[in-house]
A and B are shown apart, each in its own frame.
Chain A
Amino acid sequence: MSTMQSTQTRAGKYLTFQLGSEGYGIPIGKVKSIIGYMDITAVPRTPPHVRGVINLRGQVISVIDLRSRLGMPTTERTDETCIVVVETQKGSRIVNTGLIVDKVSEVPHIPEDAIEDAPEFGSTVETQFILGMAKINSTVKILLDIDRIVRTGDDLSSENM
């Protein structure tokens, strides 16, 4: 009974990936699959970071460009560009969403003591999507709050309406 914890820890396994020179991580439990880049059907009248929809084994899911979601410049796609499919909760349903990343790296276990809170940058850097900063062997991984990234603004399409 004494081991009962009231808050969820940030420690655990993370899928890490690169956006440019920066390393990022998302909790592995949220990742459903990693697929190669494929043609994306653009959907009109959606925010710029929503790249469109793809056919994931018969199910149509929307795809977000993670770079543009985080306010970074977009790049040409390479052979290593891939789509990370994440599962998030929307109401009572589980929703799959694809995230375009430059390349996936590895799946390390990150202990709690290696994680710090996101620093304050004032208004220059948006930190609302950051869960924390993890230090692994002298590199830094930015841990993302995937639910906020996918879910902020509720419907993707309604943000710029």
Chain B
Amino acid sequence: MQPLIQHVEAIQKILQQADHSDLSRLADVHSRFEQLVEITSQTEGLHQEVVNNVSAFGKDARTKLEQLILNEAQDVNAHLQSVHQTVQEIRKLLQNQQQVGLTPAPTPDSFEQPRQEAARSAATEVFPESAHLFNPDDLPLIAEFLSEATGHLETAEQEILKLEEDPGNLDSIGALFRAFHTIKGVAGFLNLNQIQSLAHAAENLLDLGREGKLRVTGSASDIILQSIDLMKRLLAALEQASTHRQPLQPQPGVRELCQRLNQMAEKVAKGELIEDLSVSTERSSKAAGSPIPGSNGEITPPKSPSTTENSVKVATDRLDSLINMVGELVIANSMVAQDVADSLNTNQRLSQHINHLGKIVRDLQDLSMSLRMIPVNAVFRKMSRLVRDVARKAGKEVELIITGADTELDRNVVEALADPLVHMVRNSIDHGIEPPDQRVSLGKPRVGRLELKAYHKGGNINIEICDDGRGLSKEKILRKAIQNGMVGENQTLSDQEIYKLIFEPGLSTAEKVTDISGRGVGMDVVRKNIEALRGRIDIVTEPGKGSTFIIRLPLTLAVIDGLVVKVGKNKYIVPIISIEQSIRPTTQQLCTVQGRGELLNIRNSLIPLVRLNRLFEVESRTDDLTQALVVVVQDADRRICLMVDELLGQEQVVIKSLGEDMGKVQGISGCAVLGDGNVSLILDIPGIVSLAQD
């Protein structure tokens, strides 16, 4: 019996490493199946039924493998998966045999086996850090566990930060406890030993909190935060291993942290630690910069009752294809409506119905767009933890104030916003806010203020990061820029231009390079990320009073307001956000430079003229400027005039990429399907501005 199971396990192992194009491994598995059937039939004491089953399974698997090898399988992955399942079935079959002892004449082997099994499981308990191979059946469960556990950890982090402000909050302690408790339960079920033991230890400590014996602040909250961090690493490792079907490697540090958690729990249980904790509470909450309301252990009611929303999790690609389909529906609908409007014998009822349908379709589109929106809180929440950690590291005292966390943004924008925000928040604390003593001597409150705000403004979302620190120093930035050769000695720059220099690569004014910031990478990445989201970033700063970074973002990545313009037969979309004005120019306004470069004099400013037909090498209706129209567009401080034949009107369009294999085309940022079902290109204004300058 034992050699049989070993044989099956070997097959399983090889299969796990093989993919459908790995012919030599597949062939190996194929011949091993043959051997398996042979060994089964020769093993004494096996039930005839089992032998028959194994041989049937083996045959099935071999047929599938042959198809795979000969490339005859329709869906190779499904095929391979079903081979996996077959092996699993065989293994179960054999294991049932030996555990239940169905064999009519038990051989010495099958007596041996249960003991070995027991020994093995004992071994895993003693050495919980041994590598762990997944059962393929568990993979979907693991994926679910990963997403749930990540959610639980986020909640836990949130609750711990609440507890720092309000240490006696039993609701928060309860929520923390439940987070670890749930993780422990599922991890145990899935045999994830490290995660289970860590969650168990943390849960034990938190249980004392629930009983009121421990206040989760200071060193206790530190150790819980460490547990959360380590747990995140464990989950990351688990995700890595399960997606690549590799054995799960144990992560270092789990045992040590568990021991520390247990020691603390023991001390608390003996009543040794309470005194010490309240002292460190005082210190730590000061360091984190939050005022401590009723810190003498009174239980203050929770500030905001946690609201649970009823929601369904949906895979994003399904959501995206739904939105795509609705987009198509809108187009199809408008084409039908157009046909009806064009037809000569107008049918009153029909056009009424078409109108009604149109309204429903538009509502549906609005709704489908809103599906992608999530509150910006998702990323702000992460910042509170960051502020706490960075402030501690840098020896600053910082109070974080968040407003407008309910403001909704496109999911992709919120996700892409996380990195830039991290950089900017770090910078504000590290460079902006002064050390506490310095603040006091400057007559400022000891605790620095950092504000994160989100609000709607003019069809955009603004996000502000505002600190009351020392502000940007013009002189320092300029000196550094000249030093690095980014600016000439005698160049005169406006204040805004100087401040914008901090977004250039390689400029950091931090006098000492810390591990938090100051290496001069970061702010240029911040700007790049924001611009990739079609947003912009501005700086308002006053020396000694603080600085504010304002990020302006479009509501969604998927839709823009565009002006449809026509050049010859071609329609292009100009994003409204970059349009300044449009005019019909006169010959007097045109002047040329050296016979080639053309400029238009619009209200006393000279703006370069770009003839779209020449730039894109297409035919236009006219080459005569006075017969054409120009659209004045701007990118940052540069402006150009785009000459087009006519303006067709404003339209809200859904942005699509320019086909997978088209790559990046200079001057074009994407395309959209217009109401007539045709594709129209969206102009990339910054790209055209730089094209025009070359």
Interface residues of A (CB under 8 A from B): 1, 3-6, 8, 39, 41-46, 50, 52-55, 57-62, 88, 90, 93, 95-97, 150-151, 154-158, 161
Contact = CB atoms under 8 A, between A and B. Distances in A.
Nearest to A155: B663
B27 A157 contact: no
B661 A41 contact: no
A131 to B, nearest CB: 17
B14 to A, nearest CB: 16
A154 B671 CA distance: 21
B660 A42 contact: no
A101 to B, nearest CB: 18
B280 interface: no
Contact of A58 (B71, B325, B616): B325
Given A1-B31, A43-B665, 20 more contacts: A1-B27, A5-B70, A6-B23, A44-B665, A45-B667, A53-B658, A53-B671, A58-B325, A59-B324, A59-B656, A60-B657, A60-B658, A62-B658, A62-B659, A62-B661, A88-B661, A96-B660, A97-B661, A151-B661, A156-B661
B673 A58 contact: yes
B681 A4 contact: no
A63 to B, nearest CB: 9
B304 interface: no
Nearest to A91: B660
11 contacts: A1-B31, A4-B70, A43-B662, A43-B681, A44-B616, A45-B616, A46-B662, A50-B662, A54-B679, A150-B661, A155-B663
Most buried by A among B27, B70, B661: B661
Nearest to A150: B661
Contacts of B327: 58
B401 interface: no
B665 A41 contact: no
B328 interface: yes
From B30, B659, B666, name the one whose CB has the most chain A CB atoms within 10 angstroms: B659
Nearest to B23: A4
B74 to A, nearest CB: 11
Contact of A93 (B23, B660, B666, B671): B660
A42 B618 CA distance: 9
B664 to A, nearest CB: 7
Contacts of B301: none
Contacts of B665: 43-46, 157
A76 B658 CA distance: 26
A140 B31 CA distance: 43
Nearest to A97: B661
A62 B657 CA distance: 11
B445 interface: no
B680 interface: yes
A157 B656 contact: no
A157 B681 CA distance: 15
Contacts of A150: 661
B615 A44 contact: yes
Q: Would you call the interface of chain A mostly helix, strand, loop, or mixed?
A: mixed
Nearest to A61: B659
Nearest to A94: B660
Interface in B562-612: 570
The interface residues of chain B, by DSSP majority, are classed as: mixed
B668 interface: yes
Name, among A39, A57, A60, the residue most crowded by chain B CB atoms within 10 Å (CB to CB).
Answer: A60
B8 interface: no
A88 B661 CA distance: 10
A44 B667 contact: yes
Contact of A155 (B69, B616, B664): B664
B45 interface: no
The 6 closest A-B pairs by CB, nearest first: A155-B663, A44-B616, A62-B659, A95-B660, A58-B328, A41-B679
B211 interface: no
A13 B673 CA distance: 35
B678 A57 contact: no
B694 interface: no
Contact of A90 (B23, B325, B661, B673): B661
A115 B671 CA distance: 42
A155 B665 CA distance: 10
Given A4-B69, A45-B665, A90 B328 contact: no
Contacts of B677: 55
A43 B660 contact: no
Nearest to A62: B659
Contact of B671 (A3, A60, A156): A60
A1 B679 CA distance: 51
B659 A53 contact: yes
B617 interface: yes
Nearest to B654: A58
Nearest to B680: A41
Contacts of A96: 660
Interface string B643-664: 0000000000000111111111
B341 to A, nearest CB: 21
B71 A8 contact: yes
Contacts of B663: 154-158
Nearest to B678: A39
A6 B673 CA distance: 45
A60 B616 contact: no
B407 to A, nearest CB: 30
Nearest to B65: A1
B658 to A, nearest CB: 6
Contact of B324 (A58, A61, A97): A58
B30 A41 contact: no
B675 to A, nearest CB: 12
A1 B673 CA distance: 52
A60 B660 CA distance: 8
- Residue of B663, B664, B668 with most partner-chain A CB within 10 A: B663
A158 B660 CA distance: 13
A39 B291 CA distance: 67
B662 A62 contact: yes
Contacts of A157: 662-665
B559 to A, nearest CB: 15
B280 to A, nearest CB: 51
A42 to B, nearest CB: 7
B395 to A, nearest CB: 46
Central interface residue in B327, B656, B665, B668, by most chain A CB within 10 Å: B665
Contacts of B671: 41, 53, 60
A137 B615 CA distance: 51
A59 B320 CA distance: 12
Contacts of A61: 659-660
Contact of A55 (B30, B664, B666, B679): B679
A144 B287 CA distance: 70
Contact of B30 (A1, A95, A158): A1
A41 B23 contact: no
Contacts of B680: 41
Contacts of A62: 658-659, 661-662
Nearest to B673: A55
Contacts of A93: 660
